[in-house]
Structure formats: C-alpha cells, structure tokens
Amino acid sequence: MAFSHHIDENRCKGCGLCVTVCPKNVLEISEQVSPKGYFPVFQARPEDCIFCALCCVMCPDVAITITEETEEKTR
Ligand code: SF4
Ligand code: SF4
C-alpha cells in the first residue's frame, strides 16, 4: 500500500516539534522562508519515512497530512 506525505507550507510555523518526534529523522527546517514568513519543515530524507503519522499527530497547526494512494487515484 502506498502513502503520500504532504506538508502545507501555508500552515507550518516552523516550530520544529515534528522534527523532534520523527523516529526516522526525516524532517528538517527549511532555510527558505514561506509566503507566511516562517521557515517551514520539509522532508529532507523522504526515502526514510515509514508513514508512522507521529508528525501529523504532533503538529499543533495540522500542517502535515498522510494520505493513502488508492489504485483509483493512481490510474
Ligand atoms: S510519518 Fe513518521 S517517519 Fe514519516 S516524517 Fe512523519 S514522523 Fe517521520
Ligand atoms: S509541528 Fe507542524 S508547525 Fe511545527 S514545524 Fe512541524 S509541520 Fe511545522
């Protein structure tokens, strides 16, 4: 089953909580400022993500979503 991990740059405030909680050290704070004036988080090592969803649960701004990619969507 395939999943996709999405970070909404317009919601992320760059607090770093998700970076701390990620067991696989996937996330890092960007050096590029977002349209909202924050330094958003990004997946620096997406290949290491195990889609455990800890980052989604931790984020106070609901900036991270994990969605299941169904066959219908990929067709
Ligand atoms: S889903 Fe889990 S492994 Fe992937 S970035 Fe979030 S906390 Fe890290
Ligand atoms: S916890 Fe949410 S707001 Fe904080 S850095 Fe991560 S994605 Fe951004």
Domain topology for 2-74: Alpha-Beta Plaits (3.30.70)
- pLDDT band of residue 73 (cuts 50, 70, 90) is low
Q: What's the CA-to-centroid distance between 60 and ligand 1, angstroms?
A: 15
Give Cα 67 to chain centroid, integer Å. 11
Mean pLDDT of the chain: 93
pLDDT tens for each residue of 24-54: 999 999 999 998 999 999 999 999 999 999 9
**Coil, helix or strand for 19?**
helix
Q: Of all helices (H) and strands (E), which one includes residue 21?
A: helix 17-21
Write out residues with Cβ below 6 Å of ligand 1: 5, 21-22, 24, 26-27, 49-55
